[in-house]
Amino acid sequence: MAESPNAATIDNFTAAMTGGQTFELAGRPAKYTVLYFYPKDNTPGCTTESIAFREAYPEFQATNAEIYGISRDSLRSHEGFKAKLGLPFELISDPEETVCKQFGVMKMKNMYGKQVRGVERSTFIIDAQGRLVKEWRGVKVNDHVAEVLEFLKSQP
């Protein structure tokens, strides 16, 4: 939940995303890019979070922000998840964990008493100049989307 005091610049990256498109951070037309990293398609928490972003999508657009979900799932899985939930935004596939590693979201987690390596639910806001302006790590799904939207609405 720390605000980045010096707004570090994020290195450009490209990745495959739904709709047969390629995401590239550099030159994004929106004023803000919201990247939300989540563990896995079709799981309860990830479904709830994605629906919350879907429901608030018009409000995000009003702040000139574009939303992208990212997980290690395949494009095929993402296409099904996106269609099932009616998501109006694209999902980025990162099976090699390239983007996950760039943002430092791969963590050891406890699952049913076992240590497993997985994606720590996290959200990042990047401005049009490619600077990280806000990040949330270890996100709890409840009220998170409202918090992200509130931050964007507070920006000049």
Pick the catalytic residue from 15, 17, 46, 132.
46
Contact (CB, 8 A) for 87 and 69:
yes
DSSP string, 11-49: PP-EEEETTTEEEESTT-SSSEEEEEE-S-TTSHHHHHH
Q: Is 46 a catalytic residue?
A: yes
Q: Where are the beta strands (DSSP E) in 88-131?
A: 90-93, 106-111, 114-119, 122-127
CA 140, 142, 146, 150 dihedral sign is negative
| Residues labelled as active-site residues | 46
